[in-house]
Structure 1
Amino acid sequence: MATSTPEPGPDERLFTVDELASASGLTVRTTRYYASLGLLPPPAKRGRMAWYDDTHLARLEMIRALQEHGFTLQAIEGYLASLPADAALEDLALQRAMLTAWAPPGPQEISRRQLEKHAGRRLGEEQLRMLEDVGIVRRTEDERGARFTPLQGFDVAVELLDLDIPMDGMRAAGAAISHHIDALATDLTRILRDEVVEPHRQRAHTHQETERFERTLTVLRRLTLEAIVSAFQRSANDLIARSLQREQGEASHREAR
């Protein structure tokens, strides 16, 4: 349940509902709808005007971050209800920073025809199953029939379908990538939380310093992704070099015999 909003301090920004919607990138209708669900605390009343502050904005931005991760509004309501009623603005900002997706969200659930239009080709059942097996497409069933959600990497996976590669090999490669990436994501998220976010949380910060820290996390995400790609390329090159050296050594050994 939403709690009452304390009177804003002298340095806090105040928004009308139109200004709040604009700042959060939502429509006024959507903003009012979220408020009607209790996802936002009531605004402060001054005469006949309703005023919102940075805490309302932080909650709206958190709702958007949760939606990017596939949370339903019911699940979002439960998550927001679990937060302390007196959570400071900086705490909300840090919570959202940890939730922010590492890449833009993919398309929402679409029909098979729309999926094939997005792919630019017809997709057979075996190809669809392969895309599901490697975690690139999610399939659900509702009253309209089968629905599909293409995830990050869908365009790359579709290109792979045109290569002369056995699908079992593609599934095995997808499983290997998923296994190691899951472990890497777990480790990197733990390091980010324990070594970067938590030390920042332990100190008092102004709103401007928190916003600057959020921008730092955005850059850190980009650099981390670039570092992962570079590390894989370096490791693959080292593996090729070691393999060539081993083959050269074995050839020299056979010639010596």
Structure 2
Amino acid sequence: MGARLTVDELAAAAGMSVRTVRYYAGLGLIPPPERRGRQAYYADLHLARLNLVRALQEHGLSLTAIEDYLARIPAGGDADEVAVRALALTTWSPQPPEVVSRAELEHRAGRALDEQTLDVLAAVGLVDHVDDQFELQPGFDVYVKLLSLDVGIEGITAAGLAVRRHTEALAEELTEIFAQHVVGPYRARSHHTPEEVASFQSTIVQLRQLALEAVVSGFQRAANQVINRSLRGAGG
């Protein structure tokens, strides 16, 4: 059964309010607690499922979509299995996207933004326009700095689209590699000790950081190789 937590302790561990935990319980997102008399106790599985709910919300899923996703996971399943799913889905961004008004967006950018610029920001995946609000994605501040340089909007747009195209392809490939060679072998084992669970979680966190560092250093190395080839070609 694992840890026995009261609803207050569960809410604190999940970083949610008690009201939210009870609401999610009412929706069936977590299984019923163990009852001893009038007291309800929650376990590691409940916490793992709440963490999974948060991970799914961070990816923009509605509660209805989350219900459908969780319905495919046995309610009495293993807490480690649910924890692995949550960890694999946890957003790579250090901060969740910001939601701002048009005035706040322009204040953040430090300049007025015309419709063409907003279309460009949306095209390169840095701003999502929903109703009268804007959701800022990681990289927004860097791109706005590019807009202040003496570079045509066409060139900036082309560069942004190239970055988006190649990084999305790279993310898909790396995610598949992690799933096949890291998550898959771990989930294939029927039982995990607490030490193995902690080690796996640490491994995933470190792999993410190393992957980000490898992407930066790999681009630097590739860019240098392109420059060197160009210089050799020019000298030929």
Q: TM-score, normalised by structure 1?
A: 0.87
**Corresponding residue for 1:158?**
144
**Corresponding residue for 2:157?**
171
Structure 2 stretches lacking a partner, 5+ long? none
**Corresponding residue for 1:196?**
182
Match runs of 1:197-236 below 5 Å: 197-203=183-189, 204-236=191-223
Query: 1:65-89 CA distances to partner (integer Å, 9 max, x unpaired)?
Result: 1111111111111111111233211
Contact 2:31 2:46 in 1 (8 A): yes
**Corresponding residue for 1:5?**
none
Q: Which amino acid in the other structure matches residue 207 of structure 2?
A: L
Q: Residue 95 in 1 paired to residue 62 in 2?
A: no
Match runs of 1:237-248 below 5 Å: 237-248=224-235
Q: TM-score, normalised by structure 2?
A: 0.94
Q: Which amino acid in the other structure matches residue 81 of structure 1?
A: A
Change (3 A) 1:208 1:13: farther
Contact 2:11 2:21 in 1 (8 A): yes
**Corresponding residue for 1:70?**
60
Secondary structure at the counterpart of residue 139 of structure 1: strand
Q: Residue 54 in 1 paired to residue 44 in 2?
A: yes
Deviation of residue 163 (structure 1)?
0.9
Match runs of 1:14-93 below 5 Å: 14-93=4-83
Secondary structure at the counterpart of residue 14 of structure 1: coil
Alignment counterpart, residue 125 of structure 1, candidates 87, 110, 115 = 115
Alignment counterpart, residue 148 of structure 1, candidates 121, 128, 134 = 134
Structure 1 stretches lacking a partner, 5+ long? 1-7, 250-257
Deviation of residue 105 (structure 1)?
4.0
Contact 1:24 1:61 in 2 (8 A): yes
Query: 1:156-180 CA distances to partner (integer Å, 9 max, x unpaired)?
Result: 1111110111111122112211221
Query: 1:111-149 CA distances to partner (integer Å, 9 max, x unpaired)?
Result: 2122223333322222111111111001122xxxx2211
Query: 1:168-220 CA distances to partner (integer Å, 9 max, x unpaired)?
Result: 11221122112211211111111100111111111221234213211210111
Contact 2:14 2:47 in 1 (8 A): yes
| Shift >6 Å, 4+ stretches | none
CA RMSD, Structure 1 to Structure 2 (Å): 1.4
Indicate the larger mover: 165-174 or 192-201: 165-174
Q: Residue 106 in 1 paired to residue 96 in 2?
A: yes
Structure showing greater Rg: 1
Contact 1:93 1:210 in 2 (8 A): no
Deviation of residue 108 (structure 1)?
4.2
CA–CA distance in structure 1, aligned partners of residues 60 and 212 of structure 2: 22
CA–CA distance in structure 2, aligned partners of residues 63 and 192 of structure 1: 21
Q: Which amino acid in the other structure matches residue 226 of structure 2?
A: L
Provide the identity percentage.
50
Secondary structure at the counterpart of residue 109 of structure 1: strand
CA–CA distance in structure 2, aligned partners of residues 150 and 123 of structure 1: 14
CA–CA distance in structure 1, aligned partners of residues 117 and 87 of structure 2: 36
